[in-house]
Chain A
Amino acid sequence: MKSSLMRISNITLVGLRAIARNKMRSFLTALGIIIGVGCVIAVVAIGNGATKSVENTINSLGTNYIMVFPGAVTSSGARMFSGNSTLTADDADAIKAECPAVSYVAPTVRANAQIVAGELNWGTSIQGVSVDYPLIRSWNVADGTFFTDQDVKSASKVCVLGETVAQNLFPDGQAVGQIVRIKNVPFKVEGVLEKKGGNMMGQDQDDTVIAPYTTVMKRLSGKTKIDMLQVSAASAGQVQEAQSQIDAVLRQRHRIAPNGDADFQMRSQEEIAQAQTQQTGILRMLLLVIAAISLLVGGIGIMNIMLVSVTERTREIGIRMAIGAKGRHVLLQFLFEAVTLAIVGGALGIAFGVGASLAVKRFLQWPIVVTPTSVALSFGVAAFVGIFFGYYPARKAAKLDPIDALRYE
């Protein structure tokens, strides 16, 4: 037992010396694995990050969130998206009044505009909503107050700023009570929302201005219909119920038969999240396949260079055999060399992959999650690649005839 341990440590020594003698070749051999493992780590990190941010968004929006969009209309038998929305503010009122499973409804209109405050200006998106909006999104004002129902009814020129907008227009922090101009219309700043951060697409949710939808429609966009409805079901368990109640109310109001094609569509937060997860999942699979292929190519690279190395070192093998190396010693030496290169390459690849992930996180602001599982897994795969692709060249070396090998020039 002691002697076999001794032998292993001796072979390791021999293998390590052989690697150290050929540093450049060793590095090039390992390069394929470095890149392969690096790719796997980075891809998994990015994929996990995407999944994680989807989960975060679900949690931040709450599971009882439903969106209602205008849909296609049927006109004289032809079915198409009309240029105009099919939803109105009255639909919102009706839903809130007639659907018991719905607790809040916010009609929503969107516009983009440059906002001016004194000498500063900032381009952002403006959302026209009702007072239900902060309740649906569980998004409170950090400073000042939200606008009132009275402001919505009278289309007052008031607004609430997202944190990013507030910082850009009022760097000194005194936003509440100030006047900002949107398309030359003066709006009074009633409040500033608390910081919300990025959503699952990586967009900054705080880069927004919230105003009464009536004001946005009348003063800014000139639209008469609304872009979408944001709805909150009474509880997470009532989302399905709420959706069917909304469906019934809207069909009745839009005069569509229960089996006819609806001119609106609904998405619950869960459905959106699922679609998103599916998308990131497909992307992740695709990238993983590419990474796996690059790992395979790295392995073939190891095999290739080890084969060349066996040929190039035929004489060395002959010398080793002449002075007493058994076939097994030579096999283990070359196998050890391949596995060491693969493992060292794997370790460098992990460093490279983690580094690349952190760089992506820092410079592209993508959410990144490096998991220990992916690190351990790619390390194991690298070692396996070393054994798998190292075995054939090692066996070839071990089977050389010492007389021929010694004569090899």
Chain B
Amino acid sequence: MTKKVIEIHGLTKIYTMGEVEVRALAGVDLLVDEGEFLAVMGPSGSGKSTLMNILGCLDRPTAGTYHLDGVDVSTLNRDERAVIRNAKIGFVFQSFNLLSRTSAAENVELPLIYGDLGWSREKRRKAAMDALARVGLQGRENSHSSQLSGGQQQRVAIARALVTDPAMLLADEPTGNLDSRTSEEIMGIFQSLNDSGKTVVLITHEPDIAQHARRIVTVRDGLIQHDDKVEQLRAGTHGIAPAVPPIAPEANP
């Protein structure tokens, strides 16, 4: 039996705006195995962002349980969630979110600094270099964000997400600010990371980006509406998802 990275039961989130209660999530159940590549889709207002915030331990559910990599994170306080985010989650954002006027290596090193691992500066630096090499940025360690293209900045962000060797990569619209060719490159990086065993959760509203994943979960009105394997969608055994030409022959079905 494979290890569960995400184990969610009856996840509910209610925002109170004045006297109105908004039910952003209405009892979501979701299981994600280690090594999966999951895309979460849904229109704006579907609860997709709320789910992403809770998955990323940035927010707490109103009800329900969430186990991340075996740890119950639904009841943790702010600081405990910060520790979990640092150790178990690698964030990749739409707008890259690198520190400005800071070199690529220093950006990548940052999670290690907060991780309080007791590493020496040299060790941290080496880990940052290795992570940058994994995303194909060797030689650009000392470049500042302003000297890098959008695609390169997103690679730095992926390296930063990788450096702590987290249980999952959580990518929120990672290609939203990139042109289609660069988007393909970035999705290629996610795929190859997934091939090497990394669990990836991708939040997107673009169907063709979601096609890079192996499994697509569609959220609507605070509930999971569809949960499909991409192979099935391609084979046409499911009628909902738009027909998208297959991108590449799958290496392992």
Contact = CB atoms under 8 A, between A and B. Distances in A.
Interface in B89-144: 91, 93, 97-102, 106, 110-111, 113-116, 118
A327 B78 contact: yes
A322 B99 contact: no
B79 interface: yes
Given A14-B113, A17-B106, A403-B59, A6 B118 contact: yes
B65 to A, nearest CB: 21
Contacts of B59: 403
A10 interface: yes
A364 to B, nearest CB: 44
A402 B59 CA distance: 9
B114 A319 contact: no
Contacts of A255: none
B116 A320 contact: no
A403 B58 contact: yes
Nearest to B59: A403
B78 A21 contact: no
Given A3-B118, A322-B91, A402 B79 contact: no
Contact of B93 (A3, A13, A406): A406
A218 interface: no
Contacts of A326: 78-79, 82-83, 114
A324 B102 contact: no
B86 A323 contact: yes
B82 A324 contact: yes
Contact of A327 (B79, B101, B113): B79
B227 to A, nearest CB: 26
Interface residues of B, number: 29
Interface string A309-321: 0000001101111
Contacts of A362: none
B115 A21 contact: no
A234 interface: no
B85 interface: yes
B110 A323 contact: yes
Contacts of A10: 113-114, 116
Secondary structure class of chain A's binding surface, majority of residues: helix
A13 B113 contact: yes
Contacts of A320: 110, 114
A117 interface: no
A104 to B, nearest CB: 77
B218 interface: no
B58 A324 contact: no
B155 interface: no
A329 interface: yes
A324 B97 contact: no
B113 A321 contact: no
Nearest to A404: B58
A400 B57 CA distance: 15
Most buried by A among B56, B85, B87, B113: B113
A360 interface: no
A3 B53 CA distance: 30
Contacts of B215: none
A324 B85 contact: yes
Interface string A96-110: 000000000000000
Nearest to A409: B95
Given A322-B91, A403-B59, A328 B79 contact: yes
Interface residues of A, number: 27
Interface string B54-87: 0010110000000000000000001100110111
B86 A316 contact: no
Contacts of B87: 324
A211 to B, nearest CB: 76
Contacts of A22: 101
A7 interface: yes
B160 interface: yes
B244 to A, nearest CB: 30
A21 B101 contact: yes
Interface in A1-49: 2-3, 6-7, 10, 13-14, 17, 21-22
A231 to B, nearest CB: 75
Contacts of A6: 116, 118
A403 B15 CA distance: 14
B248 to A, nearest CB: 31
B99 A2 contact: no
A328 B20 CA distance: 34
Nearest to A13: B113
B78 A323 contact: no
Contacts of A21: 99-102
A327 B97 CA distance: 19
Contact of A324 (B53, B100, B115, B118): B115
Interface in A281-329: 315-316, 318-329
A325 B82 contact: yes
Contacts of B97: 315, 318-319, 322, 406
A132 to B, nearest CB: 78
Interface in A322-360: 322-329
A323 B53 contact: no
Interface string B35-49: 000000000000000
B114 A323 contact: yes
Contacts of A403: 53, 58-59
A322 B114 contact: no
A22 B160 CA distance: 23
Interface of B: 53, 56, 58-59, 78-79, 82-83, 85-87, 91, 93, 97-102, 106, 110-111, 113-116, 118, 160, 164
6 contacts: A17-B106, A21-B100, A322-B97, A324-B111, A326-B78, A406-B58
Interface of A: 2-3, 6-7, 10, 13-14, 17, 21-22, 315-316, 318-329, 402-403, 406
Given A13-B113, A324-B83, A403-B53, 8 more contacts: A3-B116, A10-B113, A14-B113, A21-B99, A323-B110, A327-B79, A403-B59, A406-B97
